[in-house]
Structure 1
């Protein structure tokens, strides 16, 4: 019976998921209808199950641990604390940097994301004619995540 297989370390998986914050706000999903419903639909995104290898560090620790032992087509809600997701928010990762070091001639717009000369995408918290205050934290740092997942299949 195929449905008796359970996820073990190293298995290749396809999962569909909807990620929410504790207040219920959806921040990501693999399901087009849920994205439309939540107002986060993106035209260029392909809405399809997510492929990864279980318990190998390809996803955050909370997902890796949460899928172990699941059966195909099983659904589960995972509540993932920051330390098992994207870590705590670190104030020292907010830095004031001269525009010249960022290779910018114009101040970036507050609230936007820019790419640093090192290739890192960061959020602009403040900017003037001479500097920008940038947040190098992951956008989900410090947040508890609630993931509704469905194990679509264990890929052979």
Structure 2
């Protein structure tokens, strides 16, 4: 039921131009719903889907996502998954970790002494380094804490329901 309602909501924003198929270098606008394998929605461009999934953020502008195909603006599986689609077309992309945020790496977790910081570490707290790396505190003991710098979606297969809103041909 949810997918059916979602497809209708996405279809309302999709033009019926089924002309040009998407190629590398084209600029496309898409509506999408990103899910994990268990069906949990983690991101969407559709306001109603965000509200129904309990992830609605009133500070966010829910509108189609626009990007240039092949320019490295998107994860590899999403970027390559829209090639060949046309405006008005919908497709489900199943993207394995190696074409998304990679596998989880233990090398990206760090154990640090509590005395090295001027705050009280708590599980779930997000930290950023001077180099722009962000991580989440996953464990806290009396003397140390662990920060995981893996992307929160690392190691996960991602499933996207994608609807192509528009295609703008590359100017090259």
- Same fold (TM > 0.5): yes
Query: Aligned residue pairs: how many?
Result: 154
Q: CA deviation at 1:150?
A: 0.4
Q: CA deviation at 1:94?
A: 1.1
| Inter-partner Cα distance in structure 2 for 1:106 and 1:58 | 35
| Inter-partner Cα distance in structure 2 for 1:22 and 1:126 | 26
Q: Report matched runs for 1:28-67 at 5 Å.
A: 28-67=43-82
Q: CA deviation at 1:132?
A: 2.5
Structure 1 unpaired stretches of 5+: none
Query: Residue 108 of structure 2 contacts residue 148 of structure 2 at CA under 8 Å; is this kept in 1?
Result: yes
| Inter-partner Cα distance in structure 2 for 1:92 and 1:54 | 31
> What root-mean-square deviation, in Å, do the aligned CA atoms of Structure 1 and Structure 2 show?
1.7
Paired position in structure 1 for 2:127 = 114
- TM-score (normalised: structure 2): 0.83
- TM-score (normalised: structure 1): 0.91
SS in 2 for 1:65: helix
> Which runs of at least 4 in structure 1 moved beyond 4 Å after TM superposition?
none
| Inter-partner Cα distance in structure 2 for 1:37 and 1:58 | 28
Q: Give 1 or 2: higher helix fraction.
A: 2
